[in-house]
Chains A and B, each alone.
Chain A
Amino acid sequence: MKENTRQILMNAIFEVFEKMFFIFLEPVENTNNRYDHISSIDFEGRMKGGLSIKFSRKMAEMMARNMLGCEKDEITDHVLADCAKEAANMVCGNFLRKMSRDEIFKLGLPRYALRGRGEQEDMLPPAGADHITLSFKAESEEETLQLKFFGSNYD
């Protein structure tokens, strides 16, 4: 059943990135990239947990560029933060809808941090918690992201 959750997470992130960011993600085993941005969101309902996404700087820039149609010099830290938060929000909401059409989940407000600046421990799965990790790349090895999902009763 965990495989089912993993597949639904994949479908959710594919749909969000294709529709909103015009990015076709490719699953990868892992990446050696440094992740510069992290966004996360919590949810409550039949399942309780959270989802976090770490982005390489190149991936975050590509998302902003594609979503907003802006040039590289128009991409500010604020824009990157906003895109990263909205990505976590949409992926989590889309995933929960796909898990259950009828159940109500209460989503928290998405949070964002730059690597090493304002990053909170609770933006990541609690130590030792069972979780799912998915890594993706876009057009090149430099545009990568890593999604972590954790929750109670999610099997």
Chain B
Amino acid sequence: MSFNVLIVDDSNSIRSVIKKILNISGFRVDNCYEAGNGRQALDVLSKEWVDIILSDIHMPEMDGFELLKELHRHDVYTNIPVIMISTEGNESRIRDAYDLGAKGFIKKPFLPEELKKTLCEVIGVGDEGEYPTDTDECDF
């Protein structure tokens, strides 16, 4: 099974790094869409089917928290799992993200393994408690 992924971050560099990690981690990505903020992400979602969203919090125009609220307002988007990837990683901000429906949280800076592990957890690989190790390939 392969997935359509939407990466939301105002930094081109971070979007490129995440795409690269997805590729080298063995994730089967059908389409990888990109958006520079929450507004652009909603625009992508109105046109394309997306299985998982990786989103920054701190972005111009519409930030990651506003995006989570918008997703929650639309029945068709509310079940799309969202992983937040942010420099803002204090406990209360992480709680806020989960309260708004995020399924995972990764703090920048991050290692490729952290992204891979969280993705596998959120997508459901390793539900038996066996999460991939650094050397495991997470094969969806």
The size of the chain A interface, using a CB distance under 8 A, is 29
Contact code string B1-42 (vs A, CB < 8 Å = 1, else 0): 000000000111110110010000000000000000000000
A24 to chain B, nearest CB (A): 14
Q: A107-B58, A109-B58, A109-B60 are in contact. Are A19 and B109 (CB under 8 A)?
A: yes
8 Å CB contacts to B: which residues of A46-79?
A: 64, 67-69, 78-79
Whether B110 sits at the interface, judged by CB under 8 Å, is: yes
Chief secondary structure at chain A's binding surface: helix
Which residues of chain A come closer than 8 Å to B87, judged between CB atoms? 89-90, 92-94, 97, 107
A151 to chain B, nearest CB (A): 17
Contact B109 A15 (CB under 8 A): yes
A112 to chain B, nearest CB (A): 11
> Which residues of A pack against B, CB within 8 Å?
15-16, 19-20, 64, 67-69, 78-79, 82-83, 85-86, 89-90, 92-94, 96-97, 100-105, 107, 109
Q: Range of interface residues on chain B? A: 20 to 34
Contact B108 A90 (CB under 8 A): yes
Q: Which of B90-98, B118-126, B132-140 contacts A (4 or more CB under 8 A)?
A: B90-98
Q: List 10 A-B contacts (CB under 8 A).
A: A16-B109, A20-B108, A82-B13, A86-B14, A89-B11, A89-B87, A94-B87, A103-B90, A109-B10, A109-B60
Which residue of chain B lies nearest to A68 when distances are taken between CB atoms in the complex? Answer: B16
Q: A97-B90, A100-B90, A109-B60 are in contact. Are A19 and B111 (CB under 8 A)?
A: yes
Contact B17 A97 (CB under 8 A): no
Contact A97 B89 (CB under 8 A): yes
8 Å CB contacts to A: which residues of B47-78?
A: 58, 60
In the complex, besides A20-B17, A67-B13, A93-B86, 12 extra interface pairs with C-beta distance below 8 angstroms are A15-B109, A16-B109, A19-B109, A68-B20, A79-B12, A82-B13, A89-B87, A94-B108, A96-B90, A104-B92, A107-B88, A109-B58
